[in-house]
Amino acid sequence: MPATAPKPVLLELLRCPEPHHAPLAYDREAAALVCSECAKVFRVEDGIPVMLLDGAAPLD
């Protein structure tokens, strides 16, 4: 089953939870959001971003 991307309006509002609050980009292949500043990767489950710093992974 293909991953569901977050709605574009949601992507415009989301920011990294780190203090720099940088914008996030959706990586369709990884089904995850990637921070443009610190390159942390936040997974997306059923179209819902999981924005927990404890659950974030570094970009490979």
- Which DSSP string corresponds to 14-58? -B-SSTT--BEEEETTTTEEEETTT-EEEEEETTEE---GGG-EE
Supply the pTM of this predicted model: 0.85
Give me the pLDDT at residue 48, please. 86
Give me the pLDDT at residue 2, please. 57
Confidence of residue 60 (pLDDT cuts 50, 70, 90): confident
The tokens describing 3, both together, are 């991953």
User: Is residue 22 scored above 90 in pLDDT?
Assistant: yes
Q: In the chain, what are the domains?
A: 8-58 (2.20.25.10)
Confidence of residue 46 (pLDDT cuts 50, 70, 90): confident
